[in-house]
């Protein structure tokens, strides 16, 4: 799947296109596909783009409780205090999901 993703990118596919509801980056987070997730970010996917469901990559990674993706998003410029469409901050989402490790991580990184 990663090879197909790279082929599409090399052919000029818009990696930030929102098809139906999710962006390719948010789909990779939703499906927990770290290979495609890394490929998209390394090719310039927008780490702050809100999809049609109103989720940013960071808020979706918090909902999915994927610490690796959360770390990578923040390391690559994800806005730690960007609200989703429900006006929820990433820190509030982490607290609501009782994801204590990420609550501490977000606070340590400026939330």
- Taking only the tens place, the pLDDT of each residue in 57-68 is 999 999 999 999
pLDDT on residue 52: 84
Range 91-111 average pLDDT: 93
Please check the confidence at residue 6 and state whether its pLDDT lies above 70: no
Domain extent, residue 95, equals 2-108
The three-class DSSP label of residue 110 is coil
- 72 and 38 Cβ atoms separated by less than 8 Å: yes
Q: How far is CA 32 from the centre of its chain?
A: 10
Domain count, the chain: 1
Domain of residue 36, CATH code = 1.25.40.20
């Amino acid at each position: 799947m990663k090879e197909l993703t790279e082929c599409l990118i090399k052919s000029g596919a818009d990696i930030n296109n929102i098809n139906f509801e999710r962006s390719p980056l948010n789909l990779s987070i939703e499906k927990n596909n770290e290979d495609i997730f890394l490929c998209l970010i390394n090719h310039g996917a927008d780490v702050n783009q809100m999809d049609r469901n109103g989720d940013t990559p960071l808020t979706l990674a918090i909902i999915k409780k994927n610490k690796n993706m959360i770390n990578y998003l923040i390391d690559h410029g994800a806005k730690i205090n960007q609200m989703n469409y429900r006006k929820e901050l990433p820190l509030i989402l982490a607290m609501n999901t009782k994801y204590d490790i990420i609550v501490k991580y977000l606070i340590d990184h400026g939330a």
